[in-house]
């Protein structure tokens, strides 16, 4: 997987804390994502375009972090980034609007989710999930998190003069 510069990451999460989180939420996520989050606990990617966003591509604005201090009953968290914890609790437990087989790892500027499939039949596949209702089903992006990271490019490449 290519190196991706990510800025404004939260404090690093340990492998032990990550494993505890995965177990507590009964998640199944690929090793490439685990390696990425252990190196960059969320943040803003240097390269954010996956394909031409002015046609049928995507733009990831931010990777969500793991908040080791998260408490669903106390919203005074110190993290500035969206957290995986809050996304799961809000959108998969309370509101039930993101399918349970998806693990949200980031957002576009409109608040739509980038997700990893946890289903056996398409484990690791990357989808976009639109919270605004523009798509009834998750939209396929690529086959793996590694492919997603390797495909990210400078959005300036696509900006019109």
Domains of the chain listed by start with CATH number: 6-156 (3.40.1580.10)
Give 99-146 pLDDT, tens digit per residue: 899 999 999 998 899 999 999 999 999 999 998 777 778 999 999 999
Instruction: Give 97's pLDDT tier (boundaries 50, 70, 90).
Output: confident
- Give the separation between CA 150 and CA 136, rounded to whole angstroms: 28
- Give the separation between CA 68 and CA 26, rounded to whole angstroms: 16
**pLDDT, average across residues 20-27:** 90
Q: 66 near 57, Cβ under 8 Å?
A: no
pLDDT of residue 83: 84
Average pLDDT, the chain: 88
pLDDT of residue 66: 85
CB atoms within 10 A of CB 79: 19
Give 44-74 pLDDT, tens digit per residue: 999 999 999 989 999 999 999 988 775 555 5
- Give the separation between CA 36 and CA 130, rounded to whole angstroms: 24
Phi and psi at residue 36, to the nearest 5°:
-60, -45
Taking the CA atoms of the chain, what radius of gyration do you get in angstroms? 15
């Amino acid at each position: 997987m290519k190196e991706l510069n990510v800025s404004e990451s939260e404090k690093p999460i340990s492998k032990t804390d990550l494993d505890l989180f995965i177990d507590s939420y009964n998640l199944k996520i690929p090793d490439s994502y685990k390696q990425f989050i252990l190196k960059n606990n969320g943040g803003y990617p240097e390269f954010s375009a996956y394909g031409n966003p002015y046609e049928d591509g995507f733009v990831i604005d931010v990777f969500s972090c793991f908040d080791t201090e998260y408490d669903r009953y106390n919203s005074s968290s110190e993290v500035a980034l969206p957290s995986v914890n809050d996304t799961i609790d809000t959108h998969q437990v309370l509101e039930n609007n993101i399918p349970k087989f998806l693990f949200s790892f980031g957002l576009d500027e409109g608040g739509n989710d980038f997700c990893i499939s946890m289903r056996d039949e398409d484990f690791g596949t990357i989808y976009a999930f639109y919270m605004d209702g523009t798509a009834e089903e998750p939209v396929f992006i690529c086959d793996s998190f590694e492919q997603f990271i390797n495909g990210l490019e400078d959005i300036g490449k696509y900006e019109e003069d």
